[in-house]
Structure 1
Amino acid sequence: MTEEKGSMLQSVIHPTAIIDPQAKIGPNVKIGPYAVIGPNVTIGEGTEIMSHVTIDGWTTIGEYCRFFPCASIGSEPQDLKFTGEKSFVIIGDRSIFREYVTVSRATGEGEETRIGNDCLFQASTHIAHNCIVGNNVIMSNCAGLAGHVIVEDRVVIGGIAGVHQFVKLGRNCMIGGLAKVVQDIPPFVIADGQPARCVGLNSVGLSRAGVSEEVRRELKKAFRLLYRSGLNLRQAIAEMEQELDSSEEVEHFLRFLRNADRGICRGTKE
């Protein structure tokens, strides 16, 4: 290991790592054997880059992230529409990227693939071009997001689950392993199956997130109106607006339903 000077002061860089002189490396960064860092990369303080990691493109990484061996971050998107334009990957702080995780930069001049803070991406997960991923998201092994997917905060995605392009995953929802997600998943629910169906409220996840028992009761009413009442989406929203006590979580649930461009994932009993 060696200590570099200037912008890499106090960072520990393995002598076999290949780092473009134009890359911006923050203090206390660790870069392992045979890692490759491109010219337009910025890496924040305390981030660890392990062996054989490749970080390329216009990629900005926040503080105290960890990239395990063979992760590939900021590569060109797997999209036939891509023509070499300048686009970006922006990653927040304290996220973990396990072995063979891939994150593609966006398609479209000036567009972004963006990931928030405190996420865990387990081995071989894939975040495609133009995805927006929130905070505290967990993706289990081999799960994949197609292009333009939006994942809100505290979503958990099970192993080998696949999410169709342009789908939105609502806050605190949980996706079962092997699920095939082709429509929007509302906040606070559990979805599973091929194709995925909403099977219940994510009560455990809501409790862990600190949502009060009173609000959880209102969300359970909302779930029943949406999936057990026989009402269509517009009717269910109208009933919720009349019957439910207002809270930040209830308002977020209603706002998500009103803006579900791909339609809402169906329930198991309708």
Structure 2
Amino acid sequence: MIFTIIVILIIALIIVAIIINAVQQHKLEEEANKRRELTKVKNIIDETENTLMASSQLPVPMHMLAILNGRIHSALTTMSKLNPKAFDIQQRIEDAANKSQMPESEIPRFPPAFNLPDNDKIIVQFIQAIKRLRMLLRAENTKGRVSQYAYTGLDIYFEKLQLKVNVETLAKRGQAAINSNMLGSARQYYEKSIKALEAQNNQDEYCVQKSTEYRAKLSEIQHILLSEQQPSIESKKEHDPMDAQFETKTKW
């Protein structure tokens, strides 16, 4: 009888140990999942805030700023559920919610005029920021958080903004090359600008205007090259020593 009781107790202890271990494993898995989810939302917030900072000197429409702040708001809301005691979380959620209100105004069709920096490193940062903006726009559209109207309008806007930065940077380098009398390099810069403009499916007013402007620059470069070559041709005609070898000599 006693032996039977001991066996039953041992079995009961084993079962209890298995249950406790299973509960602990489940709890550990939940904690691990929670940490992974927190890391994920923190990365979303950091990525979005870094993109906002990187694009602060670019003409970004208010509609895109609202979408980015909506992305932050969604991530912060998830974070508050996972970690309600997070510092200042509720205030951050409220701030993001206020900034994520979509404007009623229409999305601009083309970027406004703005001065491009002379620093090539900053230009590269501009282009990278535009690419990140388009990437985040696509991500939010995939999640169904952006209307088709807003997505289409903003994607076209950023495509034109990227084109503008590219071609006007090349043109700026072209003008600098002309000023330095590096006409071959200048010609290449303007040819690249024209090629980029002509590659656009939608030949809008900007593409036509800039193509005309840069073609005029190419003509100007060609004119300078010809004018520089002409004196050397004339000089060669006047002083070419080979001419003397073929002159008819007069016998006296």
Please state which band the TM-score falls in when normalised by the shorter chain: under 0.3
Q: Which has the higher strand share?
A: 1
- Greater RCO (CA < 8 Å, at least 6 residues apart): 2
Q: What TM-score comes out, normalization by structure 2 length? A: 0.25
Higher Rg of the two aligned structures: 2
Q: Which has the higher helix share?
A: 2
